[in-house]
Structure 1
Amino acid sequence: MTVTTSSTSTTGVTGTTAVPGTTGSGAAGVTPAAPTGPAVPAGGGSTTDRTGARTPAAAGEIGDARRLIDDLDERIIGLIRERMEVSDRIQRARIASGGRRVHLAREMEVLRHYGDALGRPGTDLAMTLLELGRGRI
């Protein structure tokens, strides 16, 4: 079945989009149509439109900072992958020696360290890192 949905863009242009494989108008499972008009002015929009800034100077600064954040994110992901490999090595050695898969006292040290450095979000981050390194327990 095909459902036709309407959408209005920020420019006020209304269009219809057929969404194959959906049933019933407004029913759960219906995929909303993407806006049919451009979200930015014709001509591709300005840097201020893409950054949310109100001035070109601020838009430039935001763009530069976003590029730095993207670079940092790639480096962080690389470090997390490296941490996962080291954690796997530790876990295999511990199991091979007859130990348990998880060493709870060490995990508590890691949680405390991240919590002390970054507060509650740091503890949450540490939990995620521990899970990535050893899997769910």
Structure 2
Amino acid sequence: MKAYMRRRLKPDEILEKIGQLEAGGQREEAQRLAAAYMAYEEEGEVPFYVEEEVPLEVARRMLSKQVRELISYIKRYEGKSISELAKELGRSPSNVHVDVGFLSRYNVIYTERQGRRVVPHLLAEELRVEL
């Protein structure tokens, strides 16, 4: 069995990839990614996706009831902080923080600090398990 996740690239990943492509002489691909990054800067959307294999243990945890519910809330209530999500979910902020750390570590989400608030943003679009 294998598990795969399709996700948007984070802005810093696009910049890093542009540098790698330019250093490797792949100017056309670097320009395509630079255009994608400019679209992000202008519209707040990253139109570039990757599909990565994820460990089965990670996929299993992503499919647990609490993590699925958290992902759903992050998607539905874009811009809510960890504390606000915890309140909505009826969970302790520390437990939600642990799950957010797990999801962030595996690029399911990324977090943005807004003053004292930490706001998670969804990157993952799809999780697929193959037999």
Q: Structure 2-normalised TM-score?
A: 0.28
Higher relative contact order (CA 8 A, sep 6+): 2
Structure having the larger proportion of residues in strand: 2
Higher radius of gyration, 1 or 2: 1
